């Protein structure tokens, strides 16, 4: 059974003239890491909101067709509590995710479990475990309002992960963070991948996708343009015509090939492939 299955989904906002998503279909396996890329306004956040059950539930008057299945069961058949245990959602803006009603980070992380009526001792253990796993012990007694953007985003991730969902939907988690904050978030995402979570990530930082994702979907206003392995999609120049950059190493290799008037079957998309590419190319020259 697939972790997630999207069958022929189309969607138009109540005040929207055009459909934002048209006939979108794809599946995600348990433990798979899928990245979704595309130009601004291409519908990535809308898709995330469909996958977490927010759309069409909270969009009166919209046009929605198709089906979303989580673990083989229709998303509309889940209660909100059951869905929160299966699907965790991390927003682009960590300021939205913090509840604003808790005085310490520890209590903030416990908030979701508290709402589900989790027994106190079990809750305390889950929160302590996730704080240790994500190495954010230094933050646990701080007031959430005192945190920097990067710290808030790590706490936001902890408050989702403490519910232990199998599926994580993460929408541009680093767009408001500096390079160090970005790396800290990706360190957490790497831990989640090692724990075999199913991850759907929207992210503009293509070099990070190239290091972590298994598969990439390129979305534009016509639907899914490509759905393939990370190597196949990120080395395809079709990205450039759709508002998405290629990994830096692919661009450098492409410039090198143009300079040398050579061709390759596939451009490198990460450091390891880049080193091999240039070692082989230089070897050929000498
Ligand atoms: N609540 C809304 N009501 C009407 N239109 C909306 C609403 N939210 C988004 N849109 C429109 O839907 C389209 C898709 O937006 P969406 O935010 O899903 O794209 P995106 O790919 O996530 O963009 P970005 O990369 O900039 O975050 C855009 O044209 C946007 O203006």
Q: Is the pLDDT of residue 93 over 80?
A: no
Check whether residue 185 and residue 265 sit in a common domain: no
**Atom 9 (ligand 1) nearest CA:** 46
Query: How high is the pLDDT of residue 285?
Result: 52
Assign residue 146 the CATH number of its domain.
3.40.50.300
- pLDDT tens digit string along 196-218? 999 999 998 998 899 899 999 99
Reduced to 3 states (helix: H, G, I; strand: E, B; else coil), residue 10 is strand
Pocket test for ligand 1, best of 10, 13, 24, 209 (most atoms within 8 A of CB): 13
- pLDDT tens digit string along 222-261? 899 999 999 999 999 999 999 999 999 999 999 999 999 9
Neighbour-count burial for 73-103, b at 16+ CB within 10 Å, e otherwise:
eebeebeeeebbbbbbbbbbbbeebbeeebe
Check whether residue 51 and residue 35 sit in a common domain: yes
Query: How far apart (Å, rounded) are the C-alpha atoms in residues 37 and 190?
Result: 19
Q: What percent of the chain is predicted at pLDDT more than 70?
A: 99
Q: Which domain holds residue 75?
A: 4-246
Check whether residue 200 and residue 271 sit in a common domain: no
ipTM of the complex: 0.97
Pocket test for ligand 1, best of 20, 54, 172 (most atoms within 8 A of CB): 20
Check whether residue 115 and residue 206 sit in a common domain: yes
Pocket test for ligand 1, best of 9, 42, 217, 219 (most atoms within 8 A of CB): 42
Check whether residue 242 and residue 266 sit in a common domain: no
Where residue 50 falls among pLDDT bands split at 50, 70, 90?
very high
The overall average pLDDT reported for the chain is 91
What pTM was estimated for this model as a whole? 0.91
Count of domains in the chain?
Answer: 2
Check whether residue 240 and residue 194 sit in a common domain: yes
**Atom 26 (ligand 1) nearest CA:** 40
Query: How high is the pLDDT of residue 97?
Result: 73
């Amino acid at each position: 059974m697939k972790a997630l299955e999207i069958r022929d989904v189309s969607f138009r906002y109540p005040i929207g003239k055009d459909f934002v998503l048209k006939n979108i279909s794809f599946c995600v396996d348990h433990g798979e890491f899928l990245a979704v890329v595309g130009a601004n306004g291409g519908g990535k956040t809308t898709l995330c909101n469909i996958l977490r059950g927010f759309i069409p539930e909270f969009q009166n008057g919209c046009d929605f067709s198709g089906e979303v299945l989580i673990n083989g069961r229709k998303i509309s058949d889940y209660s909100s509590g059951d869905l929160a245990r299966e699907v965790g959602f991390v927003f682009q803006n960590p300021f939205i995710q913090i509840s604003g009603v808790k005085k310490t980070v520890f209590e903030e992380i416990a908030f979701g479990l508290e709402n589900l009526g989790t027994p106190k001792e079990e809750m305390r253990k889950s929160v302590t475990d996730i704080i240790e796993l994500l190495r954010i012990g230094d933050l646990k007694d701080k007031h959430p309002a005192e945190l920097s953007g990067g710290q808030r985003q790590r706490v936001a991730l902890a408050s989702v992960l403490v519910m232990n969902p199998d599926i994580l939907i993460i929408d541009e988690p680093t767009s408001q963070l500096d390079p160090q904050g970005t790396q800290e978030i990706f360190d957490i995402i790497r831990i989640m991948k090692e724990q075999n979570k199913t991850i759907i990530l929207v992210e503009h930082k293509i070099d990070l996708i190239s290091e972590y994702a298994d598969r990439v979907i390129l979305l534009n206003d016509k639907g899914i343009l490509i759905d393939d392995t990370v190597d196949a999609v990120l080395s395809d120049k079709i990205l450039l015509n759709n508002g998405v950059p290629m990994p830096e190493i692919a661009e450098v290799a492409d410039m090198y090939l143009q300079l040398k008037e050579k061709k390759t079957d596939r451009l490198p998309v990460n450091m390891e492939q880049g080193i091999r590419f240039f070692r082989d190319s230089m070897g050929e020259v000498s």
